[in-house]
Amino acid sequence: MPKFENARVVRHSPDEMFALVADVERYPEFLPLCQSLVVRSRRERDGKTLLIADMTVAYKLIRETFASQVLLKPAERQIDVKYVDGPFRYLENRWNFEPHPDGCEVRFFIDYEFKSRTLGLLMGSMFDYAFRRFATAFEERANKVYPASA
């Protein structure tokens, strides 16, 4: 039931931002709460890439791993994430990268609910905080990876 949606303009190209968000193996280097991310499988077809990835998030003594299906659609500059398994009842996440006169408009959307009410109470506020920080974390990462376009 928690939902978060954000749109912001960054001084990087849509292709650069797409590539940055699509590079899921790097998430533990800069993403809040992300302790590890392992890609279980990767299939390419018709210009799209489908990943199955396990992300482990941790905060203090709580540590949870969940699996997601990540569909990378570079021609559409869109990334769709669907929940596969873990502590959530459901999780949907979408990224869109649109050209903008100042660089790129990044749109981020997430909708999720924990299976366990207790886990929701323990982790809910931290997840809300982390998801609100995602856009900033990716923009800061882009400024490091693509300094010439910043």
What are the structural domain ranges in the chain?
3-149
pLDDT per residue as tens digits for the range 20-79: 999 999 999 999 889 999 999 999 999 999 999 999 988 777 788 999 999 999 999 999
Residue 100: CB atoms within 10 A of its CB come to 15
Tokens for 107, please give them.
């749109």
pLDDT at 138 > cutoff 70 = yes
Tokens for 58, please give them.
């941790």
Mean pLDDT within 76-101: 95
Torsion of CA 106, 69, 132, 86, to 10 degrees: 180
Tokens for 81, please give them.
């994430």
C-alpha to C-alpha distance for 150 and 148, rounded to whole angstroms: 6
Pairing, β 62-73 against β 48-59: antiparallel
CATH of domain 3-149: 3.30.530.20
Which amino acid makes up residue 9?
V
pLDDT at 129 > cutoff 80 = no
The overall average pLDDT reported for the chain is: 90
